[in-house]
């Protein structure tokens, strides 16, 4: 179930065939969404609030729920084959378990453009209903691949000529403001509270860090991702 105005609207724009049926609150009145429902001949039904909540029980329905096909991941081999032509930067996510963090990362990647997301099949959150809601439609604009082994995926990316950087707080980590990023580029982001697994760090060509001049705390992974994506996008435009 896809829910929320932005999530359903972006799906209507990009992949209406994946929508089976849309349920609307009795008082739902958003003309640009209703127009696309009609143009794509998607079955719809208006329901009172209580019945709509039985379909999807959450506080963020915003008056609309769509029954959609299960999210389809892109195979990593296909992603690599297309990545150089599209000049994609790869975001390897190591054990991101919070669906809100994953959703924000996907939305961030969509906003900056020319990013792809790679997640492991095990010990990590998949692209579920919550992730898609938080992503606000971003999953329609970002290639997302699920791999069995993140290490193997990184090795394959390196074989394609990718440089692999990782966010690691260590003495030999370099300030991102003082690094000229090599392209094509892959970034490894570590899990909430645990960082990048030691087994992955040996594949890093460079360790980078985000300077913090304030309290000695740490950035949430989705905030760190946004800062890195901004810096990467800025340097790509300067090429």
For the purposes of burial, counting CB atoms within 10 Å of the CB of 158, is it exposed (0-12), middle (13-18) or buried (19 or more)? middle
| Span 1-28, average pLDDT | 97
| Span 43-61, average pLDDT | 94
Cα 61 to Cα 28, 31, 64, 141: the distances in Å are 11, 17, 6, 22
Return the pLDDT at 83: 84
Q: Is the pLDDT of residue 168 over 90?
A: no
Same domain, 84 and 194: yes
Tokens of 239: 């090429």
Lowest-confidence segment of 90-104, 140-154, 161-175 by average pLDDT: 161-175
- What's the number of domains the chain is made of? 2
Same domain, 47 and 82: no
pTM to 2 decimals?
Answer: 0.95
Return the pLDDT at 84: 75
Residue listed under structure tokens 């209580």: 50
- CATH number at 180 reads 3.40.1280.10
Same domain, 93 and 53: no
| Span 210-221, average pLDDT | 86
**Considering 68, 87, 121, which residue would you say is the last residue of a domain?**
68
Return the pLDDT at 219: 87
Same domain, 101 and 60: no
Q: Is the pLDDT of residue 135 over 90?
A: yes
- CATH number at 34 reads 3.30.1330.30
Pairing of strands 115-120, 163-167: unpaired
Lowest-confidence segment of 42-56, 146-160, 206-220 by average pLDDT: 206-220
Residue listed under structure tokens 């009795």: 26
Same domain, 86 and 195: yes
Percent of the chain with pLDDT over 90: 86
Return the pLDDT at 29: 96
Same domain, 98 and 207: yes
Return the pLDDT at 239: 80
Q: Is the pLDDT of residue 16 over 90?
A: yes
Return the pLDDT at 51: 95
Q: Is the pLDDT of residue 214 over 90?
A: no
**Cα 197-201-207 angle, rounded to 5 deg:** 120
Same domain, 129 and 179: yes
Same domain, 47 and 117: no
Return the pLDDT at 194: 78
Same domain, 89 and 42: no
pLDDT band at 144 (very low <50, low <70, confident <90, very high): very high
For residue 93, give the nearest of 187, 158, 185, 168 by alpha carbon.
Answer: 187
Q: Is the pLDDT of residue 12 over 90?
A: yes
Print the domain residue range for 17.
2-68
Same domain, 98 and 179: yes
Q: Is the pLDDT of residue 218 over 90?
A: no
Same domain, 29 and 144: no
**Considering 27, 46, 68, which residue would you say is the last residue of a domain?**
68
**Considering 41, 68, 95, which residue would you say is the last residue of a domain?**
68
Same domain, 84 and 57: no
């Amino acid at each position: 179930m896809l829910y929320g105005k932005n999530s359903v609207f972006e799906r209507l724009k990009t992949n209406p065939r994946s929508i089976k049926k849309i349920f609307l609150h009795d008082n739902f009145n958003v003309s640009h969404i209703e127009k696309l429902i009609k143009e794509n001949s998607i079955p719809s039904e208006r329901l009172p609030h209580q019945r709509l909540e039985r379909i999807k029980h959450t506080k963020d329905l915003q008056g609309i729920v769509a029954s959609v096909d299960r999210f389809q991941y892109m195979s990593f081999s296909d992603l690599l084959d297309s990545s150089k032509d599209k000049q994609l930067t790869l975001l390897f996510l190591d054990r991101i378990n919070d669906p809100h963090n994953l959703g924000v990362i996907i939305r961030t990647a969509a906003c900056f453009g020319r990013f792809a997301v790679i997640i492991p099949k095990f010990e990590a959150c998949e692209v579920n209903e919550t992730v898609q809601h938080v992503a606000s439609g971003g999953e329609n604009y970002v290639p997302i691949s699920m791999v069995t082994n993140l290490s193997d995926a990184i090795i394959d990316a390196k074989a394609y000529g990718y440089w692999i950087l990782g966010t690691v707080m260590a003495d030999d980590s370099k300030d991102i403001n003082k690094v000229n990023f090599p392209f094509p580029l892959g970034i490894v982001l570590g899990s909430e509270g645990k960082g990048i697994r030691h087994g992955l760090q040996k594949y890093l060509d460079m360790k980078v860090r985000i300077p913090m001049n304030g309290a000695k705390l740490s950035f949430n992974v989705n905030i760190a991702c946004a800062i890195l994506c901004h810096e990467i996008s800025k340097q790509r435009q300067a090429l």
